[in-house]
Amino acid sequence: MAEPHATAEPDVLAWDDGTPIDQAAAWPARAAVWRTTIVGGLYGGLPAPPTTLTSTLRSESRVARLPGMPILEVFRIACGGGEVCVPLVVHVVRPDVDHRVPVVLHGDGCWWPPAESTVHAALAAGVAVARFDRTDVADDPAAAPTTVADRRSGPLYDAHPGARFGAISAWAWAYHRCVDLIERHPALDVSRVAVTGFSRGAKTTLLAGATDDRIALTHDHASGAGGGALARVVGEGGESLAEVVARFPAWFGADAPAIANDLCAMPFDQHVLLALIAPRRLLMTYAAEDAWSNPAGARRAAEAARAVYRLLGAERALEFRLRSGGHGHTAADWSVLIEVMTGS
């Protein structure tokens, strides 16, 4: 059973003075204010886009062991505009066809890759898979035991000394740079880009999707606190926002500890982040036995965000699915994403 919430989550379809929003035409203005409030408050804002971006094809080959011998390309992106250039390497596996194809973009290259059968299934459905390592731009203190938990480090911080954006913002920025690459790619369809990530990677995809309208489908898989789950509703065994911010402060903005420790005063909750993706597609997948990711709070956030999707005439674009099992990014989770992407 979910814990009682400190206060009800703020009405996403109301102004700060309580004035309701009942017309779709009024939502963009409210969304702009919400975006500034939650992105700046919890995540420390977004890094500035690069003033220059170059992409270089480093290698191109065939994957002979996969049916159809799909094309494997490796790109190097170089982002300028800061004190140093920020590099990023992107691997793209795509079907060998004569038309543009949709692409699923996966930033968890610092973890074990999806199974070969998963990549095959995506390609068979006509979907390219692009993959990169988000820690190329900003270190992850949760994955590097020698890194101090509150230290913000990595190439993007070297490019912007003294910046206080959190690592989740830095990683979302990296997703955006990969979308820049997709825009330039003659075989990839930038109008059909999906982003996916798992756990802290899904916190990242939600922020990336909420701040880049080019992303057509955002997949949140088990993001939990600071991602898709309400801070005010935490199921039994679930991680609270205060806990994740205390353990990994570098993931978030400098104001996050004060926000997380006073839920009564917090001017938003995570349903706001979900609503910022509307009317574009949002797929949320959680596991029933994965208590730590707080599926109860995620379901409640989806229900609250659905009001915006309904106002915009896109209620079916938000899906929440719960499977059995625990914390993991399984072939079944990938299968659901490909199913939603292709309408199969």
Residue 2, pLDDT score: 53
For residue 56, the model assigns a pLDDT of 98
pLDDT tens digits, one per residue of 35-45: 999 999 999 99
- Who has greater pLDDT, 148 or 125? 125
Confidence of residue 1 (pLDDT cuts 50, 70, 90): very low
Cα dihedral 212, 216, 221, 224 sign: positive
Question: Is residue 148 over pLDDT 90?
Answer: no
CATH of 32-52+98-342, one of 3.40.50.1820, 3.40.50.2020, 2.40.30.20, 3.30.1360.200: 3.40.50.1820
Output the CA–CA distances (angstroms, integers) from residue 235 to 136, 139, 176, in the order listed. 34, 30, 32
* Distance separating alpha carbons of residues 277 and 209, to the nearest angstrom: 6
Q: Give the pLDDT of residue 145.
A: 64
User: How confident is the model over 81-102, as pLDDT tens digits?
Assistant: 999 999 999 999 999 999 999 9
Asked whether the predicted pLDDT for residue 131 surpasses 60, the reply is yes
Sheet containing 188-198: give its strands across.
52-62, 71-80, 86-94, 128-132, 101-106, 188-198, 217-221, 281-287, 318-323
Task: For the chain, give the percent of residues with pLDDT over 90.
Answer: 94
In the chain, where the domains are located: 32-52+98-342
Which pLDDT belongs to residue 344? 67
Residue % of the chain over a pLDDT of 70: 97
Phi and psi at 74, nearest 5°, equal -120, 120
pLDDT higher than threshold 80 for residue 189: yes
Q: Is the pLDDT of residue 7 over 80?
A: no
Q: What is the pLDDT of residues 152-167, one digit of tens each?
A: 999 999 999 999 999 9
Report pLDDT digits (tens) over 108-118.
999 989 999 99
Nearest residue to 48 via CA among 163, 132, 139, 196: 163
Cβ atoms of 70 and 79 within 8 Å: the answer is no
